Every structure is written in C-alpha cells, then in structure tokens.
C-alpha cells in the first residue's frame, strides 16, 4: 500500500489480463456496444430542484478533473483534497481512475479506443455526481485533450475545473509508486502513457499543480482555496 492507497498487485492484474480489452481483441470501434435508440427514449424530470440541493449543501455541484502522467500525484492529491473539502463541510467524492477500473471500467484495457471510452465513462459518472450536488474529483490520466473537452461538455455548464498535475516523466519514473514504469521500460507492459503511448499536455488548464516543486500540503491548500471561493454559496 502506498501513500495514495493504491494496491500495486491489483493494478498489475488488470494491466496483464489478456482478455479485458474488447477494443484490442474484438471490434475496435464497437462502442457503444448496442446502438442507442434515442427515438424511443425520453427524459424524466426530478422533483428536487438544483437550487434545493445547493441550498442544503451550501455549495455548487462541480467536477474537478485531475489529469497528468502516471505518478504525477493525481490519486494522492485527490484523496487529500477530498479529506480537506469534506472536513470543511463539502459534499465531495473522488472517482479514481484505478478504482473505477475494478468496476465500472473493468471491461476496458489500454488501447486508444479503451482509453477514450474510459474517459467518457468517468466524465459521465462525474457529471452525475455534480448533478447530485457533489464536488466530484475525477482523477484519471485521461491522455487525450479532446476527451477531456468532452468531459467538460458532459458536465453541461456546471463548474468544471481542469487541474493539470505537472510532473516531468523523469520524476514520475523515479517515484514509480506502482512499479509500472519499471515494467514498461523492461518491455513487460505496453501502451504506457509517456513511454509508448501519448499524453496531450493541457493547453489551458484551470490550475497547473506543480507536484515536483510544491509539497503535497501546498498543492492541497492551493486547490482547496481555489475551489472553496468559487463553489461556496454560504459564508
């Protein structure tokens, strides 16, 4: 168990499982798995209004999207920020990419198509949490800029903040909290972001969180202050 609570063995099992990546092993363009029948679907209205949720919570629902290389500090920051926001009275919940790969995204691997679908699902789930009035911290590599933009649109005008966890690949590799860089460098793990899979550095993130030069405490404090003053509706 490391600082962020990751369990390396579980992560490795997922990475090595040969048959969990439908995009690699069957039809690469097969999402959604069944066609949408939008012509026969309708929406049902909630009886609880947004303003009621906000009034009860004392803050807006929002998506806080943490993106960065593996080892940049997404999970660590997410969990510490969740702790801090919760302590300050926020309804807050972390959707951690690795955790979701044990459930919601357990059928996905690491091909480009799977990564896109992974990000899409995290975005949809985060938007639901924001709808419910939560500050949802989504921690996911989410390597493609266009998918992060889609996640922002999925939040449908609710506050959405893209936080770029800036750490160079050398630092991430040196940290290697899950031992994955070592595996990638030795050829035992393919399609690893930053090594043999791409990462689009955010062009205009809402915050750049420098996890190389700033301590964890100062990163948490900076993000907390940023969010707190933008989301609180009561003083």
Q: Which of 11, 67, 75, 118 binds ligand ADP (CB under 6 A)?
A: 75
In three-state form (DSSP H/G/I as H, E/B as E, the rest C), the secondary structure along 59-117 is: ECCEEEEEECCCCCCHHHHHHHHHHHHHHCCCCEEEEEHHHHCCCCCCCCCCCHHHHHH
Looking at the Cβ atoms of 22 and 70, the one nearer to ligand ADP is 70
Q: Using CB under 5 A, pick the residue from 72, 75, 119, 140 that binds Mg ion.
A: 75
118 binds ligand ADP (CB under 6 A): no
Taking CB under 6 A as the rule, does residue 190 contact ligand ADP? no
Query: Interface with ligand ADP includes 61 (CB under 6 A)?
Result: no
- Selected range binding ligand ADP among 49-57, 70-78, 105-113, 146-154, rule: CB under 6 A: 70-78
Number of helical (H) and strand (E) elements in the chain, helices listed first: 10, 5
Task: Using the minimum distance from each CB to ligand ADP, give the nearer residue, 97 or 109.
Answer: 97
- Spatial contact of 163 and 67, defined as CB atoms under 8 Å apart: yes
CA-nearest of 138, 93, 94, 92 to 118 is: 138
Q: Find the part of the chain contacting ligand ADP (CB under 6 A) among 31-39, 69-77, 112-120, 198-206.
A: 69-77
Q: What are phi and psi for residue 226, nearest 5 degrees?
A: -60, -50
Compute the least distance from the CB of residue 58 to Mg ion, in Å: 29
What's the distance, CA 145 to chain centroid?
A: 13
C-alpha to C-alpha distance for 125 and 110, rounded to whole angstroms: 19
Binding residue for ligand ADP, selected from 77, 125, 137, 163, defined by CB under 6 A: 77
For residue 172, what is the enclosing H or E element?
A: helix 169-175
Question: Taking CB positions, which residue lies at the least distance from ligand ADP?
Answer: 73
Stretch that binds ligand ADP, among 13-21, 65-73, 147-155, 187-195 (CB under 6 A): 65-73
Active site residue 142: yes
Measure Cα distances from 215 to 58, 73, 96, 220 in Å: 29, 11, 21, 9
Catalytic residue among 111, 142, 218, 228: 142
Using CB under 5 A, list all residues that contact Mg ion: 74-75
Task: Tell me the catalytic residues.
Answer: 142
Using CB under 6 A, list all residues that contact ligand ADP: 2-4, 6, 68, 70-77, 139, 175, 177, 211, 214-216, 219
């Amino acid at each position: 168990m490391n600082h962020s609570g990751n369990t390396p063995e579980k992560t490795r099992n997922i990475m090595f499982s040969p048959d969990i990546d439908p995009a690699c092993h069957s039809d690469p363009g097969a999402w959604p798995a069944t066609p949408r029948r939008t012509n026969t679907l309708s929406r049902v209205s909630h009886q609880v209004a947004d303003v009621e949720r906000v009034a009860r919570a004392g803050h807006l629902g929002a998506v806080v999207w943490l993106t960065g290389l593996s080892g940049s500090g997404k999970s660590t920051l997410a969990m510490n920020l969740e702790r801090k926001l919760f302590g300050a009275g926020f309804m807050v919940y972390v959707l951690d990419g690795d955790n979701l790969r044990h459930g919601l995204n357990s059928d996905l691997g690491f091909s480009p198509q799977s990564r896109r679908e992974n990000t899409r699902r995290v975005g949809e789930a985060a938007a639901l949490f924001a709808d419910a009035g939560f500050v949802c911290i989504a921690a996911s590599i989410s390597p493609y800029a266009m998918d992060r933009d889609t996640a922002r649109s999925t939040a449908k005008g609710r506050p959405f903040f893209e936080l770029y966890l800036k750490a160079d690949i050398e630092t991430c590799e040196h940290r290697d909290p899950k031992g994955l860089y070592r595996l990638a460098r030795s050829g035992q793990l393919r399609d690893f972001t930053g090594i043999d899979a791409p990462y689009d550095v955010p062009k205009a993130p809402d915050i750049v969180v420098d996890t190389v030069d700033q301590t964890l405490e100062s990163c948490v404090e900076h993000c907390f202050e940023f969010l707190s003053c933008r989301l609180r509706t009561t003083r």
